[in-house]
Chain A
Amino acid sequence: MALDRWIALVFLIICLAYGYAAFFTLDATLPPFMKRNPVWPSTFPKVLAVLGILTSLYVLLGFEKSGEEKAPDIDYRRLWDYNLGQAVLLLSLMVLYALMLRPAGFLISTSVFLIAGSLVLGERRIILTVIVALIATGFVWYLVEGVLGIFLRPLPYFMGT
């Protein structure tokens, strides 16, 4: 089964769960006077669930023959031939950044993210990387904090606000 049909299967499962919630659990908390309304909070989701189940079945069962085979951007069947490791490492770095942003402060986490990101991609001029990352971090922090007035904790939590 090709990847697009697997996705259709996953979507079908999501729609079934969504539909179950819409049809059976969502209305339980509805106050009695609301039940006199012609439209409930669950009305639109019910329609969507049915639509979603129908379209996912349509794709899943292959009713639609795809047109001429065009060369894909990235062939997922040969994913291992690409720089998969780099991509996964970068995504993990993003997760790490999300987790560290509040505790470690903006300045440290951002410079670490930019330096590590460049190193992961194979940059070997370490001094240049550090300089670029530090300048960019300072500039963005100034832009966000100074110009836009959005608060970002600059320093780690134990060094004051």
Chain B
Amino acid sequence: MLEGLMIGLSTAFSFQNLLMVIGGCLIGTFIGMLPGLGPMSIIAIMIPIAVTIGDPSAALILLAGVYYGAIFGGSTSSILINAPGVASTVATSFDGYPLARQGKAGKALTVAAISSFCGGTIGAILLMIFAPMLASVALLFHSAEYFALMVVGLSAIAAFAGTGQVGKAVMMTVLGLIMATVGEGALFNLPRFTMGIMDLQSGFGFITLAMAMFALPEAIFLVLDPARSKAADGGEQSDIKDMRITGAEARQIAPVIGRQSIQGFLIGVLPGAGATIASFLGYAVERNIASKADQAEFGKGSLKGLAAPEAANNAACTGSFVPLLTLGIPGSGTTAILLGALIALNVSPGPRLMIDNPQIFWSVIVSMYLGNLILLILNLPLIPYIAKILAVPRTFLIPFILFFTLMGAYIGQNNATELLILVGLGVCATILRFADYPLAPLLIGFILGRMLEDNFSRSMQLYDGVGFITARPMTMGLLLLAVFLVILPSYRARRARLRAAGVADGD
């Protein structure tokens, strides 16, 4: 491990890569503060740039920096003006904004910065220790197990995506899989389901789909409802000079940060959970185990309530790199986009990554330490200036968001028809969001679809039929787990409902 660390250190500390991580953090922080542009959209925007760099470790370092920066940028705007730019920082605003309103903005931002730093660093250490272990387990996997594992990943994503609406999430996953079969597959030289449209010959563009699913609907929502970004007026100048944290406060939040860093990391490792769920769970768990007096503070400006989601969400971001780097399975929409970027760079993530390209693997881990440190250094002094960007009037902000989605799709495919597809899919995605359909499963299904089919076909060919399911115990076990994951939430919801109904009858 030490040897690997040295490789990583020497790669990450090259001048170019240092520049990448600083640049990535800066870009991520600044754009992440803008409402409507989460890490997913920002990384999607940055992919053409990253791919042009050519060097996979540099590109991945840049994207990882952007990822951290974006998560951090989102917390800044949640705390200062109660406008979470990213879903995973919504929980941050529960207690961060009340603190800012009490004139403790400086303290709130400092707590957030330190919690994120600790979460990210602890996550990176855990990643360093456990990822090689997971990778060695992963080497036992054959294409049949990969197929089963992807099914587990997809079903976990579907089950986590929406509480009480598993059916919808599964539907979206299937839709994503169906969209992935459009165009020429890798194993068969045969265009499928193109409906005679030449531009669909190579399938849907992945950046186009990412933009259409996330950036565009959010922009349309911002247009439809100006109140969504009303908080971006600048607001009264808070006294954010006082950034001191007393010893008592530090003792209060230290165990919270420790617990939530570990919990967040573990949730991040699970495919389908990700930073948003980690931050909400972290907040919920800390509120439940707090003493009665502390519990009353939650929601009114509790430092614990601020530290918990911040530590958890940064640790989860790091955790989601474990399945991505070792198994090639993205744990969240963002890492799904990163996976797409990796494939575009001719790197296939998976168990072989650590053996074939150790410098990529280790330089990413080292760049995580660096990214966290640089974020801390950048954010503390820059906070008062950073907040000014949020005051960009929406009349300028929204056309620019739309323009960047268009540019992202155009640069990705170099094809003007792609822009029409983007608008069409974007409108569809907006309608799906109206009806409360989760969109992340669709994108993850789309990205995993090709690999799922390839592994499925390969194992079918090896075993001359579906015999591989019963012939390999691990495949069988994983598939059963997948079925269990899909059924469990609806079973529990049904039982809870029946119990509630029973109580009502008894009254």
Contact = CB atoms under 8 A, between A and B. Distances in A.
Interface of A: 2-4, 6-8, 11, 14-15, 18, 21, 26, 29-30, 37-39, 41-45, 48-49, 51-52, 55-56, 58-59, 63-68, 72-74, 76, 79, 82-84, 86-87, 90-91, 93-95, 97-99, 101-102, 110, 113-114, 117-118, 121-123, 129, 132, 136, 140, 144, 148-150
Contact of A97 (B221, B419, B435): B419
Interface stretch (B108-116, B284-292, B389-397): B389-397
A82 B457 CA distance: 48
Interface in B161-178: 163-168, 170-171, 174-175, 177-178
B456 interface: yes
Contacts of B48: 148, 150
A8 B185 contact: no
A148 B48 CA distance: 8
B122 to A, nearest CB: 33
Interface residues of B, number: 69
Interface in B398-433: 398-400, 402-403, 406-407, 410-411, 414, 416-417, 419-420, 422-423, 426-427, 431-433
Given A26-B192, A98-B416, A150-B414, A67 B493 contact: yes
Nearest to B174: A52
Interface of B is mostly: helix
Contact of B403 (A30, A68, A114): A114
A61 B220 CA distance: 30
A117 B399 contact: yes
A91 B423 contact: yes
B1 interface: no
Contacts of A122: 395
B51 to A, nearest CB: 9
Contacts of B431: 3, 7, 76
B134 interface: no
Nearest to B409: A98
B146 to A, nearest CB: 14
Contacts of A91: 220, 423, 426-427
Contacts of A42: 192
A64 B419 contact: no
Contacts of A83: 223-226
Interface of A is mostly: helix
A41 B399 contact: no
Nearest 7 Cβ contacts at the A-B interface: A67-B164, A117-B399, A98-B419, A123-B395, A76-B434, A4-B435, A39-B460
B178 A48 contact: yes
Contacts of B417: 98
A161 B171 CA distance: 46
A139 to B, nearest CB: 11
Interface of B: 48-49, 52, 163-168, 170-171, 174-175, 177-178, 181, 185, 187-188, 190, 192-193, 220-221, 223-226, 228, 393-396, 398-400, 402-403, 406-407, 410-411, 414, 416-417, 419-420, 422-423, 426-427, 431-437, 452-453, 456-457, 460-461, 464-465, 490, 493, 497
5 contacts: A15-B174, A59-B168, A99-B416, A113-B399, A148-B411
B220 to A, nearest CB: 5
Contacts of B464: 38
Contacts of B416: 98-99, 101-102
B436 A121 contact: no
A42 B191 CA distance: 11
A64 B393 contact: no
B432 A117 contact: no
B178 A52 contact: yes
A97 B406 contact: yes
Contacts of A58: 167, 170-171
